[in-house]
A = this chain, B = another copy of it.
Amino acid sequence: MTSEREIGVTELALRDAHQSLMATRMAMEDMVDACEDIDKAGFWSVECWGGATFDACIRFLNEDPWERLRTFRKLMPNSRLQMLLRGQNLLGYRHYGDDVVDRFCEKAAENGMDVFRVFDALNDPRNLERAMAAVKKTGKHAQGTVCYTTSPLHTVDGYVELAKQLRDMGADSIALKDMAALLKPQPAYDIVKAIKSEMPDMQVNVHCHATTGVTLVSLMKAIEGGADVVDTAISSMSLGPGHNPTESLQEMLEGTGYVADLDKELLRSIKRHFAEVRPRYSKFMSSFNVETDIFDSQIPGGMISNMESQLTQQGAGDKLQEVLEEVPRVRKDAGYPPLVTPSSQIVGTQAVFNVMMGRYKVLTAEFADLMLGYYGATLGEFNPEVVEQAKAQTGKEPITDRPANHIPDEWDELRKEAEGIEGFNGSDEDVLTYSMFPKVAPGFFKTRPEGPKNVGQDPAEIEAEKAAKAGDTGTGPVRTPITYNVTVNGRSHSVAVKPA
């Protein structure tokens, strides 16, 4: 065996781990005490912002997300701070004008962000290109992302092609992102190996969830295939719908010729910290353990339970099986998008509509937009009949160019709107907060002076509450009901849907 190859690790405890395990509810005050140890433990980067954390901060925690970022910056001076950015969506739920994308990246960098992992749910590179350029302009690390999914059209070559496009955008590294834990060991090896053969000097990061139980093996194989950095979460914040344990990754490598050079004593201390904190959030946690059904159904567990509740609310709980069988058809008609937020909600809700009202008798506004190209391109073709239906129903024309081409610059307008809101502090950061969450931001600006609210609870208190009331308590930022406007033959229907 030659000398060991060092594998970098991105620690997820401060962002994706609590987003996945406890509906993004962890308060900053429950994280600060771990930061010094995290900063010194030897991670390649520390993911701590983006995804749903921004939303949860202002919606549930009365915490300024920009202040959170600045605090992390202060507490972890030696670490690369990393964020997840949904391309042209930023951290919101629609595409933004290019000037807003530019401003966001500039401000995030200014407040301390180092590594921007930029992705698009449809893997449409045109939805990444502006954000990648904006990050490059700040001089920070632009990580281009390949979202992993499976379909008859998805191939190793296709993923390599996308990686090449990201490289051409100036990507400093490529992330292979497996948000649904679908990445099995062999494809993990094949894809990473193929990317590294094509671009030997490109850093490859691999992000896997643990949901299906196989992905620590996938990380091993990805490393054998040439991966440079892998994502894990400290063990007390790992597994289930979360990620593989950091300590297990490190131990796994012993003797293999690869090494993750992390300080074990500090890992232990970080583990203990979160082991103490975690029970405080147990009312936001599911008892979910491991689930492999998604390999066959392509339907994430959260999506199933959501469709189930939609159906039950409409007195059609017995239709679940039909809906589950409809989902792959709808996905195919939409050109096989990966099923993740927001495509999972869009496809899932359309499948429910198809079963309840007849196939494509009614399209949700979002599904119509998807079929008309307003979310971007998918790998496959849109079913032309359904595209016709979408045109007829909405009166909109399909587009084939970059969706954001159709969005004029909007920064000045957004600033003007923000200035009219009580509690707005005048900063660009506040304009961005408002831009991404125009319904939630006003309430937050108003209550911000009251300071952060910790929604964690003493475990005994949680037990008592549970005993007192029956019924489901788990909600999350993306579980807030969303109202879909459905227009049929000129009549508009408002349909409230609780997404997965």
Q: Is the CB of A235 within 8 A of B213?
A: yes
**Contact A245 to B290, CB < 8 A, known contacts A217-B217, A235-B213, A295-B251:** yes
For A290, the chain B residues whose CB sits under 8 A away are: 235, 238-239, 245, 247-248
Binds B, one of A32-40, A75-83, A184-192, A415-423: A184-192
Q: For chain A, residues 247 to 278, give those with C-beta under 8 angstroms from any C-beta of chain B.
A: 247-248, 250-252, 254-256, 264, 268
For A169, the chain B residues whose CB sits under 8 A away are: none
Tell whether A466 is near chain B: CB-to-CB under 8 Å. yes
Q: Is the CB of A214 within 8 A of B248?
A: yes
Specify which of B184, B251, B264 is in contact with A214 (CB 8 Å cutoff).
B251
Q: Is the CB of A248 within 8 A of B289?
A: no
Tell whether A389 is near chain B: CB-to-CB under 8 Å. no
For A467, the chain B residues whose CB sits under 8 A away are: 463-464, 467
Q: Is the CB of A236 within 8 A of B466?
A: no
A58 to B296, CA, bound (A): 42
Specify which of B255, B264, B292 is in contact with A251 (CB 8 Å cutoff).
B292
Tell whether A220 is near chain B: CB-to-CB under 8 Å. yes
What's the number of copies of this chain in the assembled complex? 2
Tell whether A20 is near chain B: CB-to-CB under 8 Å. no
A212 to B251, CA, bound (A): 9
Most chain B Cβ neighbours within 10 Å, of A185, A212, A213, A268: A213
For A185, the chain B residues whose CB sits under 8 A away are: 220, 252, 256
Most chain B Cβ neighbours within 10 Å, of A186, A296, A464: A186
**Contact A186 to B220, CB < 8 A, known contacts A235-B290, A466-B463:** no
Q: Is the CB of A291 within 8 A of B235?
A: yes
**Taking chain A's interface residues, is the majority helix, strand, or loop, or is none over half, making it mixed?**
helix
**Contact A217 to B184, CB < 8 A, known contacts A239-B289, A245-B292:** no
Tell whether A53 is near chain B: CB-to-CB under 8 Å. no
Separation in Å of the A485 CB from the closest CB of chain B?
38
A244 to B216, CA, bound (A): 12
For A216, the chain B residues whose CB sits under 8 A away are: 213-214, 216-217
For A214, the chain B residues whose CB sits under 8 A away are: 216, 248, 251-252
**Contact A184 to B251, CB < 8 A, known contacts A239-B239, A463-B466:** yes
Separation in Å of the A258 CB from the closest CB of chain B?
10
Tell whether A293 is near chain B: CB-to-CB under 8 Å. yes
Minimum CB distance partner of A213 in chain B: B248
A216 to B220, CA, bound (A): 11
Q: Is the CB of A289 within 8 A of B217?
A: no
Q: For chain A, residues 393 to 424, give those with C-beta under 8 angstroms from any C-beta of chain B.
A: none
Specify which of B186, B220, B250, B251 is in contact with A254 (CB 8 Å cutoff).
B186
For A236, the chain B residues whose CB sits under 8 A away are: 289
Q: For chain A, residues 186 to 222, give those with C-beta under 8 angstroms from any C-beta of chain B.
A: 186-187, 212-214, 216-217, 220
Minimum CB distance partner of A247 in chain B: B292
Q: Is the CB of A244 within 8 A of B466?
A: no
**Contact A255 to B184, CB < 8 A, known contacts A239-B289, A289-B239, A463-B467:** yes
**Contact A252 to B289, CB < 8 A, known contacts A463-B466, A464-B467, A466-B463:** no
**Contact A289 to B212, CB < 8 A, known contacts A217-B252, A252-B184, A264-B296:** no
Q: Is the CB of A186 within 8 A of B235?
A: no
- Contact mask for chain A residues 447-467; partner B; CB cutoff 8 A; 1 contact, 0 none: 000000000000000011011
A272 to B468, CA, bound (A): 28
Separation in Å of the A279 CB from the closest CB of chain B?
8
A296 to B186, CA, bound (A): 31
A254 to B252, CA, bound (A): 21
Minimum CB distance partner of A287 in chain B: B279
Known: A216-B216, A235-B289, A268-B293. 15 other contacts (CB 8 A): A184-B252, A184-B254, A186-B256, A212-B251, A213-B216, A213-B245, A214-B216, A214-B251, A220-B220, A235-B291, A239-B289, A245-B290, A247-B290, A264-B296, A463-B466
Nearest 4 pairs of A and B residues by beta carbon:
A213-B248, A186-B255, A247-B292, A214-B252
What would 15 A/B residue contacts be, using CB atoms closer than 8 Å?
A184-B252, A185-B220, A185-B256, A187-B255, A213-B239, A213-B248, A214-B251, A214-B252, A235-B289, A239-B289, A245-B292, A247-B292, A248-B292, A264-B296, A463-B466
